Amino acid sequence: MRPSIKNHIFRQFFSLSLLTIVALIALLEVLSDDLERSMVALELESEQTHYFSMIKDTPQTWITATTLVAFVPEHIAQFPELPPVFQGLPVPFSGEAETVDADYWVNISQTPTGTLYIAKGTYLFEQREKVFLFGIMVVGVLFITISFILTQLSARRIVKPLTALTQEISHIDPQHRTMRVSENYHDQELYSIATTFNTYLNTMEEYVKREKMLIGMASHELRTPIAVISGALDVIEERDTMSEKDKKTVARIRGAANEMNANVVAILMLARKQPTPHQLTQILLSQTLQTAVQERLNTHPEDQARLSIMPSEIDHELLSDITLLRMLLKNLIQNALEHTQGNVTLQQNKLGLLISDEGAGLPQNVRLQLSQKTPIPNGYLNESGLGLFIVTLICERLGWRIEVDQQAKIGTALQLYFPSS
């Protein structure tokens, strides 16, 4: 299944929102640490000023709920009562220090009369920082939720007109060539798509009109010379002045003219894709097969030894157009005989009708074309011949199916499937 544009837009916008939230949280964390350091530094500076005025010439310590302060005069080398948090630190010093019980921000400074030690507990600051971070996380989750909802709504709103355009295009019926898509779109891109598609439909409409005119002209221009040939043959036969060899030659000319006329009628009728003018009738396939084979042998008696109908216990009864069925069988037989110098057999089976020959058969790409049921390519007619092309069109018109039998070991076997099989 192909990915949806709506999902693509949603992922892009939502990913951008998540990156924005992560960057914002990281920035707030940095600002929070910097704010904490600044606040502690200000308080330590205030504490230092306060206790500096209380310094005497003797070692002293002050302990409050959040602060540890000690002063060691310059002439005192050791002060056993110095709190553990200050021990081992250099002079001067400013930074964080840890003890077993608590964490402190320590500032050790040198005064004219000694060393002043100040340690400020960071517990309250850490508590405030946790509350601050919790608030950031709550805001982040809320922002993500809102971003998710807004992104979904935005993606739907962006894709909605495109979906409407797609549905409108899909509802265009090829039978109603005047149908066009609406061009009432505010977005320039969608308006361009709609106008371009309508321009394409207008161009195709003009092309179809020209093709219809060409087919109508061909219907007259091709039938007229065929009628002249047939009429001339009738006149020649009425004179009854021909030798036996001339009669055979005239018979071949008449057969070719009749075949050309049948092909013209078939091509015109199938190319127009119009309903057949004939009534659907109940047809026994065996009788129609016999008629088609006999018509072939009447015009090509040399095929007597090559063409045969294999016996079968199955005889399909079809509700079909007798004219199209005869045309289909005639072209299948003709196509098989033209692709081999060997035998051609026709046999009914449970699936339908099997036409087998002993020659090289159809080109590989034509075989694949019949088996894969893909659209007819440009070179298909040149490679498969007019007969197989007409067979393909007739099967499409009758709703039947024809495929290459892949199990055939010699030559080519075409399996014609009937809907009732």
CATH number at residue 350: 3.30.565.10
Residue 180 sits in the same domain as residue 306 = no
Q: Residue range 47-56: average pLDDT?
A: 73
> Residue 130: inside a domain, yes or no?
yes
Residue 292 sits in the same domain as residue 250 = no
> Residue 149: inside a domain, yes or no?
no
74 or 271, which is more confident:
74
Residue 85 sits in the same domain as residue 22 = yes
Residue 222 sits in the same domain as residue 284 = no
Sign of the four-CA dihedral 251, 257, 258, 263: positive
- Over residues 184-239, the pLDDT tens digits come to 878 788 888 888 888 888 888 888 788 777 766 766 677 788 888 889 888 888 88
> Residue 163: inside a domain, yes or no?
no
Please identify, among 122, 141, 160, the residue that sits at the C-terminal boundary of a domain. 141
Question: What pLDDT sits at residue 324?
Answer: 84
Angle at CA 321, nearest 5°, toward 318 and 327?
105
Number of structural domains (the chain) is 3
Residue 263 sits in the same domain as residue 282 = no
The residue to which tokens 């694949």 are assigned: 368
Please identify, among 141, 166, 185, the residue that sits at the C-terminal boundary of a domain. 141
Is the pLDDT at 263 greater than 80? The verdict is: no
Is the pLDDT at 348 greater than 90? The verdict is: yes
Q: What is the CATH number of the domain that holds 265?
A: 1.10.287
Residue 262 sits in the same domain as residue 281 = no
> Residue 12: inside a domain, yes or no?
yes
Question: What pLDDT sits at residue 362?
Answer: 63
Residue 321 sits in the same domain as residue 247 = no
Q: Residue range 323-344: average pLDDT?
A: 85
For residue 229, the enclosing domain spans: 175-274
Residue 191 sits in the same domain as residue 233 = yes
Residue 46 sits in the same domain as residue 124 = yes
> Residue 223: inside a domain, yes or no?
yes
Residue 292 sits in the same domain as residue 260 = no
Residue 320 sits in the same domain as residue 350 = yes
Residue 349 sits in the same domain as residue 269 = no
Q: Residue range 366-393: average pLDDT?
A: 58
> Residue 156: inside a domain, yes or no?
no
> Residue 159: inside a domain, yes or no?
no
In whole numbers, what is the pLDDT of the chain averaged over residues? 79
Q: How far apart are CA 71 and CA 222, in angstroms?
A: 122
Please identify, among 224, 254, 274, the residue that sits at the C-terminal boundary of a domain. 274
- Over residues 99-156, the pLDDT tens digits come to 877 788 888 888 888 888 888 877 767 677 778 778 878 888 888 888 888 888 888 8
> Residue 166: inside a domain, yes or no?
no
